[in-house]
Copies of this chain bind each other. A is one copy, B any other.
């Protein structure tokens, strides 16, 4: 008797369309003060209450007057004006600063640089009433240009013919005419009262806050934030802070989803977890549907547990999808909540979110974000994308859309994709990833050399500041990154532990900036140089020592088996864990075995390989094995014991062009700096006397 894993599997595209159709849109609205509306979505168009500007105002510092009074004024025929109004003066003027209201009788502004104090030496003929020629470039004239006018002499020095500066002279004269409405900002130049300012369905931005307030709008009708109830299921869940005993799972998914909801403009409501009990689940689902717009129920991701969630949901509506053709994210489900009318639940849809965190994240991005935008009647924000090259084939299964987490590095002007692990449980891959490569359902992966679109998960500036480090892994690389980020925040290290040998090869293929290596040459006993010469012939590189480090046996606390040397690995009941071939530590082991004439087959676990010092230490620490070869810092980090065996040079090989770049120089200066050395010396098993030295 077989068992149907998914009852109604749907392609992602179709699942999303059904979800949005079933969800409908929010129709209610609420009035909020404009200053609190940032990021909210308008529910109707916002209308200007007053015009902007709301009065005729001076666009320059200067004097306001009637343009007609200036007609006829010129260099040869300056014209005199008196401070006052038309009631008291024949040719009145009034000082104005930029933004001042124009007096009701005035219709032009003359900028202060064009206003001269004192009586005019010659009176102009009376105005002809025709429009004068007016220089159009008042706004950008050289203010010094009128400083040389000394052709007129006046008895009173206080009334010398100079442009006014902070003066309040009661009599001035002009040497040119003005056009009506010159340097006046007219009512409604920007927007006219009653005109729409914002459409409905618009995300309010800082500019909009400014425009609304300027137009006299103090409150704006926005859509309420969609309430998303988040219901974790499973009796195994414990809360952050509870003691993490075996079999207990920290309930972090609901917090991650709540963060997404907040970021996307919704109001998350995290609910207490419910255990896997059908009647209890139904009670909790019913309550959640009644008080939220959307229900996200976080299911365990195995088929068995998931079926259970769908079973619990299915009484409340129609299951539109059970299983979605997307990786990660397949065990998701979608329900259209049933029931119309008075007793209808508030929620229109529910999403069964898989329990594996990466699946949960993908389902949130692909379903929940568009759902929230749709409910609000708005557009989802852009996802920045970038083109990058896939250096090696990226396989993918036909028939399902796959989101491959990748890191990116700009090496020799190409942006290079490096895929990360695909496990749906590895939430840290989402943290490490620079972006997603989306492989469509009808494509069997991406071929080597192809260019792909990468959906960025962090700013491009951050990605472009990535220094790609390949090769051997060591904990001092973490220290190096931290000091680098402190001194040069625009750079970060992306390390991929592939082993020394593969690292040098990747450097040769231009897939990394730096390779970390500790390869012992068995013939000469020299570290690194022989292999670099052999593998990177013709590739210009710079080699610097990062640290000299201790390699040794990582054993359980107290070294219960009393291991002291490599020979002891062959002892009865000793379970060993090895490193992958090509790793410097493996080369060292094989060298020592050969030197001491030990048969690898006599070591139990020789064929079991791990890829990092830390995973070797984990294998020892969790009792999987008794011993592994690795660095002291890994042993210390997990509270294990360490038996020193050898010292080795852990060097960085930099491509020469990178070493000369800004990033390369920053990295080298950090390696040679005091902060890095001091931080390394706090760890165990390192020596820094040659740190930063070129080889």
Contacts and interface: CB of A to CB of B under 8 A. Distances in A.
A596 interface: no
A492 interface: yes
A378 B489 contact: yes
A55 interface: yes
A481 B497 CA distance: 56
B1 A147 contact: yes
A79 to B, nearest CB: 22
- List the number of copies, as a whole number: 2
Contact of A263 (B38, B113, B250): B38
Contacts of A200: 482, 485-486, 489
Contacts of A45: 478, 481-482, 485
A304 B303 CA distance: 73
Interface stretch (A309-317, A420-428, A535-543): A420-428
Nearest to A235: B97
A326 B397 CA distance: 52
A458 B165 CA distance: 44
A361 to B, nearest CB: 6
Contact of A618 (B163, B188, B213, B263): B188
B210 A382 contact: no
Contacts of A143: 2-5
Nearest to A192: B614
A199 B481 contact: yes
Contacts of A481: 45, 196, 199
A481 B201 CA distance: 11
A396 interface: no
B61 A302 contact: yes
A256 interface: yes
Given A99-B249, A255-B213, A427-B52, A206 B361 contact: yes
Interface string A443-469: 000000000000011111110010000
Which of A1, A199, A429 counts the most chain B CB atoms within 10 A?
A199
A198 interface: yes
Contact of A638 (B54, B192, B241): B192
A186 interface: yes
Contact of A210 (B1, B100, B255): B255
Contacts of A689: none
A345 B101 CA distance: 38
Interface in A135-161: 142-147
A213 B240 contact: yes
A439 to B, nearest CB: 17
Contacts of A427: 52, 190, 207, 210-211, 214
A163 B1 CA distance: 7
Interface string A341-379: 000000000000001010001001000000000000111
Contacts of A571: none
A384 to B, nearest CB: 4
Contact of A489 (B99, B377, B457): B377
A3 B165 contact: yes
A429 B425 CA distance: 48
A337 to B, nearest CB: 22
A490 B57 CA distance: 39
Given A206-B256, A246-B55, A618 B192 contact: yes
B618 A186 contact: yes
A213 B427 CA distance: 10
A631 B500 CA distance: 79
Contacts of A384: 382, 384
Nearest to A102: B246
Interface string A283-322: 0000000000000000011111100000000000000000
A263 B188 contact: no
Nearest to A60: B302
B214 A460 contact: no
Contacts of A614: 188, 192, 195
Interface string A40-73: 0000110000111111110011000000000000
A304 B253 CA distance: 58
A590 B621 CA distance: 94
Contacts of A201: 485, 489
Contacts of A197: 428, 431
B259 A622 contact: no
A425 to B, nearest CB: 6
A39 B39 CA distance: 14
A208 interface: yes
A637 B213 contact: no
A5 B61 CA distance: 13
A93 to B, nearest CB: 17
Given A55-B247, A240-B34, A459-B380, A199 B482 contact: yes
Nearest to A253: B210
A252 B213 contact: yes
Contacts of A100: 236, 247
A186 B622 contact: yes
A501 interface: no
A1 B165 contact: yes
A94 to B, nearest CB: 12
A97 B194 CA distance: 64
Given A2-B145, A53-B425, 11 more contacts: A3-B143, A35-B259, A55-B244, A57-B246, A98-B302, A188-B614, A189-B426, A192-B638, A210-B430, A377-B489, A382-B459
19 contacts: A3-B143, A38-B262, A44-B482, A50-B244, A55-B245, A55-B246, A98-B301, A98-B302, A188-B614, A192-B638, A195-B637, A197-B428, A199-B481, A207-B457, A210-B256, A210-B357, A213-B256, A381-B459, A382-B461
Interface of A: 1-5, 25, 34-35, 38-39, 44-45, 50-57, 60-61, 97-102, 112-113, 142-147, 162-163, 165, 181, 185-201, 203, 205-211, 213-216, 218, 234, 236, 240-241, 244-247, 249-250, 252-253, 255-260, 262-263, 300-305, 355, 357, 361, 364, 377-382, 384, 423, 425-431, 456-462, 465, 478, 481-482, 485-486, 489-490, 492, 614-615, 617-619, 621-622, 624, 637-638
